Amino acid sequence: MTELERQLKTRPIMAVIRDDVSLELVLKSSVCCVLLAYGDLVSIGPTIRRLKAAEKLVFLNFDMIDGLGADHAAVRFVARRTEPHGIRSTRSQIIKAAHKEQLFTIQSLFLLDSLALKNGLNSVINCSPTAVEVLPGIMPRVIRDISERCPLPLIAGGLIRSRIEVQDALVAGAVGCATTDRTLWDLNRCVKGGDIKANDSQRTPILHYA
């Protein structure tokens, strides 16, 4: 089990932060995993250091940072100068480059249709990221289908706005949910009857606020 899975096991929310206001709020929250989705080459270093000082597991949304190219040199710069725990990207070459820098990785799949699903699964199996983000995350049937076909941990991302939607994603097989919704950041998970396991429909995650 990776550190990402271990953190999401009890606190299933990955907070997505896109502005300074959200940054200040996440620093005060109980959320353990953070996806930094704004900034540029100058600002991300200090921001990542603040988040790590607050004992957050920090992933950088590589595709959303101003000034970064789509090559190994850019990943190497981020890994060695800003030192996030991991990188999130839709691009296979970024995921592979991050592996070489010994970073955790989240590869995101935008599931527009069945062809996107097929191609996306082939890509993640080839890249073997730490986890796969499924977008949008409000599709329990699709999450369940992917969890049965893909051995990698799944994170539901995009359009998650309620505790019920988080619950549905977890029951379908996701290990966690990525969301900008601040009202969900302090959700904890316990399981009636024992620890939850992927694809275990007999055990239901019980969500409560810290």
| 92-120 mean pLDDT | 95
Residue 36 amino acid letter: L
Check pLDDT > 60 for residue 96.
Answer: yes
> 127 with 149: CB under 8 angstroms?
no
- Which class is 3-209 in CATH? alpha beta
Rounded Cα gap, residues 61 and 70, in angstroms: 12
| 58-85 mean pLDDT | 96
> 34 with 197: CB under 8 angstroms?
no
Supply the pLDDT for residue 205: 75
Percent above pLDDT 90 for the chain: 88
Rounded Cα gap, residues 70 and 6, in angstroms: 30
Supply the pLDDT for residue 197: 46
Check pLDDT > 90 for residue 199.
Answer: no
pLDDT tens-digit map of 128-156: 999 999 999 999 999 999 999 999 999 99
Check pLDDT > 70 for residue 70.
Answer: yes
pLDDT tens-digit map of 7-23: 999 999 999 999 999 99
* 105 vs 199 pLDDT, higher one: 105
Helix, strand or coil for residue 172? helix
> 48 with 78: CB under 8 angstroms?
no
Check pLDDT > 90 for residue 184.
Answer: yes
Residue 131 is encoded by which pair of tokens? 């986890």
The structural domains of the chain, with segments of one domain joined by +, span 3-209
- pTM of the shown model: 0.92
